[in-house]
Amino acid sequence: MTNKLSTISQHFRLNEQPFVRQVDDWIQQSRNEYRSILTQFLNPREQYILNVLVNHTADLAVYFNGGVQGAESQRAILIPKEYPQADLEFEISLLEIKYPTKFNNLHHSTILGSMMYSGISRNVIGDILYDQTHSRWQIIIDSKMQRYIQQMVTKIGHVRVSLIECDLNNVLPHINDWEENFLLLSSLRLDTVISAGFDLSRSGAKKLIEENQVRVNWSEIAKPDVELAIDDVISVRKHGRIQIKLLDGLSKKGKIKSIVNIIRR
């Protein structure tokens, strides 16, 4: 790792350092072999880290694609700036879930859980999309894994399904479920934010964290006293998500005035 990148990497959290080193490997590989590097699907925090590190190199560029406008999970291509950049191939495919809709309901967590149970790695799966009625579902995937995924996933929960290839031009639009909320926080501790966001007791929030039910920026966090920052995403199993969007000083009683986005399950 160059001195410049090494200095930048110190600004990321300790649990993010393995990914920082992975990005450095990609950067060196793209430079040394003078070729493009295609990543697997990256979560938004990984996309941010990759973008920051590549933007501090003079000779490389990075492009992202998740198969749909506003996608959360996206693949990236690192490429030398002088390299031909027309028709970048992100190797993304789209599968639609066919199932008997009259008597069955599918859920995001059940679909993802069934795929994980089938031995499919999370980083070959992009966004899981649905329509307004939650009766039509699609999965964005790594094209090279399409046939394997179709063979392995024949049930979601107790529902028999078929995964049918679709043209990406027919992808469902990404639905934004975030709701903006104003919260007064006594601190930016993880347990405090979870407690305020989901109207839980501090002890209840702490228990969820200690039972590994909580992720921050898609990484498991077991310490209730972790300090959060703007744009951090907190995922709490069976409760939803919180994202800190704005910190606006203190109230007269010394509380932190914040704007947060919340998805409640």
Domain residue spans in the chain?
1-80, 92-170, 179-264
- Residue 14 makes CB contacts below 8 A (sequence gap 6+) with none
pLDDT of res. 86: 76
Kindly report the CATH number that applies to the domain delimited by 179-264: 3.10.290.10
Q: For residue 42, how many other CB atoms are within 10 A of its CB?
A: 24
Q: Is the dihedral angle over the CA atoms 14, 16, 19, 21 positive or is it negative?
A: negative
Largest CA distance in the chain: 60
pLDDT of res. 2: 65
Looking at domain 92-170, its CATH class is alpha beta
pTM of the model: 0.86
Beta bridge partners of 61: 79
- Confirm if 107 and 155 have CB atoms less than 8 A apart: no
Distance CA 142, CA 90 (A): 9
User: What tokens were used for 94?
Assistant: 């789209």
Helices (H), 34-155: 44-55, 108-117, 146-152
Q: Is the dihedral angle over the CA atoms 33, 20, 242, 120 positive or is it negative?
A: positive
Distance CA 210, CA 221 (A): 8
pLDDT tens digit at each of 265 positions of the chain: 666 666 777 778 888 999 999 999 999 999 999 999 999 999 999 999 999 999 999 899 999 999 999 999 999 999 999 887 778 999 999 999 999 988 889 998 899 999 999 999 999 999 999 999 989 999 999 999 999 999 999 999 999 999 999 999 999 999 888 999 999 999 999 999 999 999 999 999 999 999 999 999 988 888 999 999 998 999 999 899 999 999 999 999 999 999 999 999 8
Topology, domain 1-80:
Ribosomal Protein S8; Chain: A, domain 1 (3.30.1370)
